[in-house]
DNA sequence: TTAAACGGTGGAGTATAGTCCACTGTCAAG
DNA sequence: CTTGACAGTGGACTATACTCCACCGTTTAA
């Protein structure tokens, strides 16, 4: 199929598919062309795009996706090691959540006394001392 | 003071300070030069860098910082409007937290049955159907 | 036939916040 | 004096994931 079709079927834009080819996430044989030089995308490429879509949904980066699919395709996919990596991702996410929650509290605190007392103005008073 | 000194005092790198000048977050009068053409940074610039540092700590982007400082300096700082903006930031943060928590659960779910059942492999089985 | 959509390529741009590189001039310390 | 650090400028690079632009050829539908 042509790129417009596979774009439609996969839910990725043509530009995104070309980008994935450029970074090696998708591989098209050089001979996969029509007579007019248009690229012929096989159903296998569509499958791969669907895999990419699913993995992106659970937070995998493109680099990680490339790695996971490569392992899978060479039959060397190690669920134990994969679990370790996933748990590491979970840990990073938990860290992020804590940071966001801290930030949230700080912001709420900043406006708690508004308009009687404005913490942002206080910061600026303390640092700029211009008023 | 010279850039090395203000970098030291402010905790920002020289490159960062130059970057802030470039994007207009810091403004140096053209005449603020020594005889050898080295830039002379006034204490006011240091104050401003300190303000930037504090605002970054509570999650403000550089664009937001530029805006807030500008308002403050023109005496037009509106605590009420500022509160609205802050609460909007809080809302976005809360959204992010929810997304991260969802993602966390999904990832934990993905490895829950590992190594008996590997969800990642299942995704790849479903999509790639190559094994 | 014509115009618009589609396809191709190469490359730059976007967002955000820096960071690094190349080159030149100045300053300070050994 | 010499060398290394410091300062300046312009511009490219980094990270991540696209998206847009310019230009050219092909296809499609009115």
pLDDT band at B131 (very low <50, low <70, confident <90, very high): very low
Rounded Cα–Cα distance for residues A87 and A64 (Å): 14
- Distance from C-alpha of B22 to C-alpha of B87, rounded to nearest angstrom: 30
Determine the Cα–Cα distance for residues B71 and B69; give it in Å rounded to an integer: 5
Give A8-53 pLDDT, tens digit per residue: 999 999 999 999 999 999 999 888 999 999 999 999 999 999 999 9
* The length of chain A, given as a count of residues: 131
C-beta atoms of A82 and B107 within 8 A: no
Tell me: the pLDDT tens digits for A96-128? 999 899 999 988 988 888 777 778 888 888 888
| Minimal Cβ distance to A129: which of B47, B77, B90 | B47
Nucleic strand C near CB of residue B67 (< 7 Å): no
Cα–chain-centroid distance for residue B59? 6
> Complex ipTM, two decimals?
0.78
Residues, chain B? 131
Check whether B63 has a pLDDT greater than 70: yes
Q: Rounded distance, CA A123 to CA A111, Å? A: 12
Q: Which nt is closest to the CA of A34, judged by C1'?
A: C7
Convert the pLDDT of each residue in B13-54 to its tens digit. Answer: 999 999 999 999 999 888 889 999 999 999 999 999 999 999
Tokens 């042509």 belong to: A2
Test B73 with A128 for CB contact under 8 angstroms.
yes
Reply yes or no on whether the pLDDT at B99 is more than 50: yes
CATH architecture for segment(s) A3-73: Orthogonal Bundle (1.10)
* pLDDT-based confidence at residue B4 (cuts at 50, 70, 90): very high
**pLDDT higher than threshold 80 for residue A76:** no
Average pLDDT, chain B: 88
Query: How far, CA to CA in Å, does A96 sit from each of A91, A101, B102, B131?
Result: 9, 9, 13, 36
The pLDDT of residue B81 is above 90: no
Yes or no: say if A41 and A32 are a contact pair by the CB < 8 Å rule.
yes
Higher pLDDT, B80 or B19: B19
Whole-number mean pLDDT of chain A?
88
b or e along B11-43 (b: 16 or more beta carbons within 10 Å of the residue's beta carbon)?
A: ebeeeebeebbeeebbeeeeeeeeeeeebebee
Q: Which of A45, A58, A64, A88 to mutate to test the interface with B (most CBs of B within 10 A)?
A: A58
pLDDT at A53: 93
| Integer Cα distance of B34 and B41 in angstroms | 10
DSSP H or E stretch at residue B49: helix B43-57
* Percent share of chain B, pLDDT over 90: 51
| CB contact (8 A) between residue A127 and residue B47 | yes
Please report which confidence band the pLDDT of residue B129 belongs to, taking 50, 70 and 90 as the band edges: low
């Amino acid at each position: 199929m042509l790129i417009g079709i596979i774009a439609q079927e996969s839910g990725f834009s043509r530009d995104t598919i070309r980008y994935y080819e450029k970074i090696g996430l998708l591989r098209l044989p050089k001979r996969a062309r029509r007579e007019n030089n248009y690229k012929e995308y096989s159903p296998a490429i569509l499958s791969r795009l669907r895999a990419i879509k699913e993995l992106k949904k659970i937070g995998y980066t493109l680099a990680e996706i490339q790695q996971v699919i490569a392992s899978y395709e060479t039959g060397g996919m190690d669920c134990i090691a994969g679990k370790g990596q996933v748990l590491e991702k979970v840990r990073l996410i938990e860290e992020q959540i804590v940071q966001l929650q801290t930030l949230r509290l700080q912001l709420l605190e900043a406006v708690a006394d508004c308009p009687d007392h404005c913490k942002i103005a206080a910061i600026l008073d303390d640092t700029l001392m211009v008023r």
